[in-house]
Amino acid sequence: MSEEHYYLELCENPVQFENASSVNNVFFDEANKQVFAVRSGGATGVVVKGPEDKSSVAFRMDDKGEVKCIKFSIGNKILAVQRTPKSVDFINFIPDYPHLEFSQECKMKNASILGFCWTNWNEIVFITDQGIEFYQVLPDKRSLKLLKSQSINVNWYMYCPETAVILLSTTFQGNVLQPFAFKSGTMSKMSKFEIELPVVPKPAKLNLSERDIAVANIYGQLYVMYLKHHSRTTDSPCAEVVLYQLPREGSVKKTNVLKLNTTGKFALNVVDNLVVVHHQSTQTSIIFDIKLREPDCALNVHQPVLPPRSIHPYRIPLTGPSAVPSQPPVPCELYSSSWSVFQPDIIISASEGYQWYLQVKLPPTVNLLQDKGKLIDFLLRRRDCKMVILSVCSQMLNGEDKGSLTVVATVFDKLNQVFKEYLEAEQTYTVAMESGPSRGSTARERPVRTQAVIDQSDMYTHVLSSFTEKKDISHKFIIAVLMEYIRSLNQVQITVQHYLYELVIKTLVHHSLFYMLHQFLQYHVLSDSKPLACLLLSLEGTYPAAHQLSLDMLKRLSTANDEIVEVLLSKQQVLGALRFIRSVGGNDNISARKFLDAALQTADQMLFYTIFRFFEQRNLRLRGSPCFNLGEHCEEHVVYFKQVFGEQALMKQATV
């Protein structure tokens, strides 16, 4: 199958650890993204592998029984090990601290510890079947201090390290969930909520299993994802994923339903804000974007964005003494029953000793999602989207996939809306920084320029400049596309850069569409600018009227007086330049030498006489003498004037 088929892949550099056949137990720590391979026998050997080499560590512990759970605090400072249902043991890994074990029993009588979660480098939560206990670990004293506890019957729990929220399953059926949030030594009880279970025939009862629940951060919001295996209606037996949004304050809401259109065993990941649903029996995965609205579905009911596809095949290189250099890598068994899936994007194969990060490949999505508007909406929300979006734009303007002008306009509008929102955020930030912090306001963060911000230079460099050079595309379509992009920028009040106007002008001139160019300039479709006026001047040889169009533009700019003078002098229109500068009141400051040089180059003696006399009169009016100052460097012009008209023609100084 071609590379374009797969839009999901396992990362190239997985975390590799000793597989399950050579160790007693393998544990995963969701907070530090670490795998613990534990081997017992005499002493307990532990090898910890993390996403970075520096987070990998190996050590030995006294064998005090089977390890039920093992995790480092954030930064590998303190190790916590659970061996019994009643207590958790701790070992300092802080430099210069004694490497000795200390222990903490749970406070609640007759309670059994289900597990524990580190919420900070020195803060830990015990989850028992009777509630939760929040502790501060004091490594120097080798003891723990109880900060807060809460009694509640607990069936099982889930932890989201990104938000430091623990979710507890309560009640007989397990479908009433109670979240708790942790931050800087505080524990907050969030709103509890009930998961709506499928209706089953009486007297059977369905309990909520932790296998069907996942907690993840999607678009900056915390969600509980419930894998509902059977719909309540008999005419729709397919499974679905129901999303509940958990705000820090306020009630929990059921917000989204993801239609899986099949039944069987599923697993959930979240990658780049996409919900990925793996289906074991078909060995395929589908993705959902909860921000994409389905036009033919009820509000917030979603179909898969793309058709089901397998994860890209992965090959495991052979290592060890038995490996032969020429031996090809062994294909990895995808969707294996030994796979464990962790949030947000982790897949672990204990049997093969690999921990992968799941990744989304964007280029294959381009040909799988035919609706260009929907495709752009999808891509704009992805992390590494810029070059893919630009390739979509190029594809949309060229060849067989060429879109209609309406489609082109839709895509441009979507891109420029994101561009505009970034510019506004940047402007708001700049104004806030210049005005200084106001009382009671929180510090502003500079807006991040994500890859979704496609600016005019991106579009010009990667799409439009090469597009205008295409020989097999109608020049009418080319000009229409350029004008559509300019319209889109104007619509959201983004100042159009002069190089886009230059592209329009060059395209019009190349196709000898001078009447259209004249119309565009006359009706200000192309905005006035100095670079544009200079470009028009350079086109005079091809289009003589461009000279006057350029002058008219410079006059309208009113800040381009020097440029107008230069243009007129270059055309040997010396008197015209002088008249213009007098009309704008700048004749007292202009360089006499510049005008005298220009007059000299015309070889028109009477013109030189007129210009020379003008500056003599200016000198007399400003300084009381017709003579030129040494700093004006007009000596050679005075000599020439004497040679042609005689010394007696020089103006005499006025006498009082």
- Per-residue pLDDT tens for 311-328? 998 887 665 444 455 566
**Token pair listed for 562:** 């020097």
pLDDT per residue as tens digits for the range 605-627: 898 998 898 999 888 888 888 88
pLDDT per residue as tens digits for the range 360-369: 999 999 988 8
CA distances 249 to 170, 188, 193, 290, Å, are 20, 10, 13, 22
Q: Residue 656 — very low, low, confident or very high, per pLDDT cuts 50/70/90?
A: very low
Q: Are strands 165-170 and 78-82 parallel, antiparallel or unpaired?
A: unpaired
Could you tell me if 376 and 391 are in contact, meaning their C-beta atoms sit under 8 angstroms apart?
no
Residue with the larger pLDDT of the pair 40 and 311: 311
Q: Is the pLDDT of residue 440 over 60?
A: no
Per-domain boundaries in the chain = 158-199+208-310, 572-655
Which helix (H) or strand (E) element contains residue 405? helix 405-435
Average pLDDT, the chain: 85
In the β-sheet with 131-138, what is the strand arrangement from edge to edge? 113-120, 123-128, 131-138, 143-151
Q: Residue 22 — very low, low, confident or very high, per pLDDT cuts 50/70/90?
A: low
pLDDT per residue as tens digits for the range 134-172: 999 998 888 999 999 999 999 999 999 999 999 999 988
Give me the CATH code for the 158-199+208-310 domain, please: 2.130.10.10
pLDDT per residue as tens digits for the range 91-144: 998 888 877 889 999 998 889 999 999 999 999 999 999 999 999 999 888 899
Q: What angle do CA 13, 340, 190 make, to 5 degrees?
A: 110
The per-residue pLDDT for 553 is: 80
Q: Residue 386 — very low, low, confident or very high, per pLDDT cuts 50/70/90?
A: very high
d(CA 385, CA 450): 9
Q: Is the pLDDT of residue 216 over 70?
A: yes
The per-residue pLDDT for 322 is: 46
- Is the pTM here over 0.75, yes or no? yes
Question: 151 - beta bridge partners?
Answer: 131
CA distances 361 to 184, 276, 458, 536, Å, are 37, 13, 22, 45
The per-residue pLDDT for 320 is: 46
Residue with the larger pLDDT of the pair 117 and 338: 117
pLDDT per residue as tens digits for the range 551-569: 778 777 777 677 777 777 8
Residue closest to 93 by CA, chosen among 33, 137, 125, 145 = 137
The per-residue pLDDT for 78 is: 92
